Chains A and B, each alone.
Chain A
């Protein structure tokens, strides 16, 4: 048996999670599936469950001069159809899961779950996003890289809620995104590549490339990006990324495919951008 709690406010939520260990249930598209044991029987929750998706304080997409802010319970569909957000966020969100999943699954869930196949993480890595965690003691602000510790591992304390993700606004010239799954829809990625860039006077002045679903966490090398801006040496850039790849054979794909095709996509993206 387990208890279900439904706090009436963010304050109440923070009180609750400060006094015990809970499953925090937002969209539930992953958690609810993972905890099943037999259709018609109780879910196997070994801790009490606290529901949060009804809390208005955890919803909404905002912008100010320098940042976009996505609250944790914003659904994937709300991102995909937002009037505020740029295409480089909207389009990848529109390719996640399927319509039913996107209407329920949340921005926060995809991040906190920290699955290697989480499609939002490569975006946030490339965009230098920041995670805001709230607890009764106050806020903690971490870069996405410091927040994600590994496969299914984050730096969230038990008494914290992931409150929002903050994305710096940049004047990008364009973006590229490629997600590959074993079918066209309703599928977890076996590989994804995200790139944003800025060009000035025909030269690349900012480039960010991240690769998802190959390693436990997204691959990105700021060092290699800086070098590339200086020398435009594509082979050198690809070599650095190749050396960072630790793909595996699993039921979705092969190490060879993930690594080779990941590099082919990056090469193609960069060549396109250089020629533009």
Chain B
């Protein structure tokens, strides 16, 4: 086949006809069910736990059973089970396990945990300036903001709230232990993250740990680091009970206690000279919750592209992540960028208004181009086509016409977004070191052996298409099973929009190697390992150099109507132009755009998630309002071709990019419609009313 051929998603039929089996559908012999005993307070000490008499068939699994009570993520500060101290509401204290769910519930109802309650920290305002409440603190500069010649400044503060991934399939894993081997099955993004966490927690050798992914019904980052915690608990439980143990969350449990997008606050001060930007200073802060998790990396992605699509000569960036007793915050599509890009793009819109300029015209003066120096003082090596994208966007949206619509409740908003593909800086080469295998078997079928997972995003279709095209064989000859760490090498986690670009790039190279060997009899195995391109230079201690391997770009216009009586917002249209190099599969890419728009509409104007003293208030489908079909705008999507040399067929990152620009475009459209400033996400009718009455 050829790369531009249109095909059906390879996993769609079995998902639509219901044949596919998720972890909850799979039978294990002698399966036991685990339910989590959780902390009822946000911070304090566990004085004692009064268990009823433990009946036959019920097991309590806790810290005392755990060889190393640490969940290895970046650090190991999060315990597998809380031992004495608790740091957030819902923190796991023990698993209660049994074969009869009713018996487990009855036993749990009789448990009393006695606490000494301490004052919790629930807002980043309380953390500022406190070393002990700060996880990470970064600062970098470009040019010299201290020596600026300026005649005006423009300063604003922006904030964003929580967002829940709300994958359709809830968190769910099964742990088994037999022949001294721990096996974890289930819904996940990163089999090798889980494997490494299990080695650390169980102290078993790596050969005795096996992780098998099952069909995963959505993840969006929510199944990046969190399943490592569950897997450690299940390994301990399975080793104690010597039977398979299932841990599947209920929806409310999943919404209340698993990772959320980090709430943020961003202060931006722009220095102007003769109505031109000469410098920008940023302070970007995140609520990192009770444990390290991936917060440090989220913070880096948030700050490294804080100047977005613009070449600003003098830049100062400070980034801080704080420790609170709120819910554990973690990976979520965009990974720090939705927060920082909302702040930047809304600031650019407000600046344009302040300077009485059209928001697109205003941005065009500052668009980065090939050869420019980035905020982190790296050189943009690739062709950047932001001007062409802006042209295309203006044309496809009839920009001149829609922005001059006279209805006073109609508004138009703009956002331009970069998104770096793959891990930050030299992370792909220094931390991930991806390996892929391609195996031709005796029948002539080709097996893709990678740890990258299909989670609904289209990996199986896209990677199979890359290999089939490179080999010029039919896609039906490609076999790509759900990864099993006993069978596949570590191609890295399924995160950071890296699967097509990085893993697909390696598979493409492997396929090129395999092609001349296809006629050989018997089995042929080829391996490919990631090597950092020569033009990528990165200094992690100074945060200096090329922050990403390559950038994808998005140009978005949102149109909204605001009801003048009720201030209800309707997003009527989203126009988007994207540069993802080349979309490997156009239908899959359009799916990414539509999904990104849905999640962006939610983040921008619907998904209110408030925490009171560490407890999430919106805990169900009925109170946490993700968009329905009735809330979706019309979506007009186009792209430009701008192939990336290292990517397979020129492909770059596509997964996260499509979400990031939607919320700032909607916020600025609302601002345009009613003439009040929107500095806080999500934009709700309640906030508009409060602002109007102020």
A binds B: yes
Q: Contact check, A182 vs B684: say whether CB atoms are below 8 A apart.
A: yes
- Assess whether B372 is interfacial by the CB under 8 Å rule: no
In the bound complex, CA of A146 to CA of B188 (Å):
54
- Assess whether A178 is interfacial by the CB under 8 Å rule: yes
Q: Contact check, A188 vs B628: say whether CB atoms are below 8 A apart.
A: no
> B21 → chain A, closest Cβ, in Å?
16
> B141 → chain A, closest Cβ, in Å?
42
Q: Hey, what's the 0/1 contact readout for B565-584 against A, CB within 8 Å counting as 1? A: 11110100000000000000
Stretch among A6-14, A123-131, A221-229, A247-255 lining the B interface: A247-255
> A134 → chain B, closest Cβ, in Å?
32
Q: Contact check, B628 vs A257: say whether CB atoms are below 8 A apart.
A: no
Q: Closest B residue to A181 by CB, please name it.
A: B625
Also in contact, A39 and B105, with CB within 8 A (given A260-B693, A261-B566): no
- Assess whether B430 is interfacial by the CB under 8 Å rule: no
Q: Contact check, B610 vs A251: say whether CB atoms are below 8 A apart.
A: yes
Q: Contact check, A184 vs B101: say whether CB atoms are below 8 A apart.
A: no
- Assess whether A40 is interfacial by the CB under 8 Å rule: yes
20 A/B residue pairs, CB under 8 Å, sorted by A? A40-B101, A41-B101, A41-B104, A41-B105, A42-B101, A98-B628, A178-B566, A180-B566, A183-B628, A184-B628, A185-B629, A185-B630, A186-B628, A187-B625, A251-B610, A253-B686, A257-B685, A261-B566, A264-B565, A264-B566
Q: Contact check, B101 vs A38: say whether CB atoms are below 8 A apart.
A: yes
- Assess whether A37 is interfacial by the CB under 8 Å rule: yes
- Assess whether A265 is interfacial by the CB under 8 Å rule: yes
Q: Contact check, A251 vs B618: say whether CB atoms are below 8 A apart.
A: yes
Q: Interface size (A, Cβ < 8 Å)?
A: 29
In the bound complex, CA of A125 to CA of B3 (Å):
64
Q: Hey, what's the 0/1 contact readout for B618-639 against A, CB within 8 Å counting as 1? A: 1001110111111100000000
In the bound complex, CA of A235 to CA of B623 (Å):
34
Question: Contact check: which of B33, B566, B684, B690 meets A40 at CB < 8 Å?
Answer: B33
- Assess whether A82 is interfacial by the CB under 8 Å rule: no
Which 7 A-B pairs rank lowest in CB-CB distance, beginning with the nearest? A41-B101, A184-B630, A185-B630, A251-B617, A183-B625, A182-B625, A185-B628
- Assess whether B209 is interfacial by the CB under 8 Å rule: no
Q: Contact check, A41 vs B102: say whether CB atoms are below 8 A apart.
A: yes
In the bound complex, CA of A265 to CA of B689 (Å):
14
Q: Contact check, A39 vs B250: say whether CB atoms are below 8 A apart.
A: yes
Q: Contact check, A38 vs B686: say whether CB atoms are below 8 A apart.
A: no
Among B20-42, those with CB < 8 Å from A are 33, 35
- Assess whether B166 is interfacial by the CB under 8 Å rule: no
Cβ contacts under 8 Å, B248 to chain A: 39
- Assess whether A84 is interfacial by the CB under 8 Å rule: no
- Assess whether A256 is interfacial by the CB under 8 Å rule: yes
Q: Chain A interface secondary structure, helix, strand, loop or mixed? A: loop
Q: Closest A residue to B612 by CB, please name it.
A: A251
Q: Contact check, B685 vs A261: say whether CB atoms are below 8 A apart.
A: yes
Q: Closest A residue to B609 by CB, please name it.
A: A251
Enumerate chain B interface residues (CB-CB to A < 8 A): 33, 35, 101-102, 104-105, 248, 250, 565-568, 570, 606, 608, 610, 617-618, 621-623, 625-631, 684-686, 689-690, 693
- Assess whether A268 is interfacial by the CB under 8 Å rule: yes
Q: Contact check, B627 vs A257: say whether CB atoms are below 8 A apart.
A: no
> B420 → chain A, closest Cβ, in Å?
32
Q: Closest B residue to A37 by CB, please name it.
A: B105
Apart from A41-B104, A184-B570, 6 more pairs, CB < 8 Å: A37-B105, A39-B250, A183-B626, A183-B627, A251-B610, A261-B566
> B683 → chain A, closest Cβ, in Å?
12
Q: Closest A residue to B620 by CB, please name it.
A: A33
Cβ contacts under 8 Å, B628 to chain A: 98, 183-186
Q: Contact check, A184 vs B105: say whether CB atoms are below 8 A apart.
A: no
Also in contact, A265 and B101, with CB within 8 A (given A39-B248, A182-B625, A257-B685): no
In the bound complex, CA of A187 to CA of B608 (Å):
13
In the bound complex, CA of A181 to CA of B622 (Å):
10
Cβ contacts under 8 Å, A253 to chain B: 686
Q: Hey, what's the 0/1 contact readout for A176-202 against B, CB within 8 Å counting as 1? A: 001011111111100000000000000
In the bound complex, CA of A42 to CA of B354 (Å):
61
Q: Contact check, B617 vs A184: say whether CB atoms are below 8 A apart.
A: no
In the bound complex, CA of A36 to CA of B606 (Å):
27
In the bound complex, CA of A215 to CA of B408 (Å):
33
> B490 → chain A, closest Cβ, in Å?
33
Also in contact, A42 and B610, with CB within 8 A (given A182-B684, A183-B625): no
Q: Contact check, A256 vs B686: say whether CB atoms are below 8 A apart.
A: yes
Also in contact, A261 and B565, with CB within 8 A (given A182-B608, A251-B617): yes
Q: Contact check, B566 vs A38: say whether CB atoms are below 8 A apart.
A: no
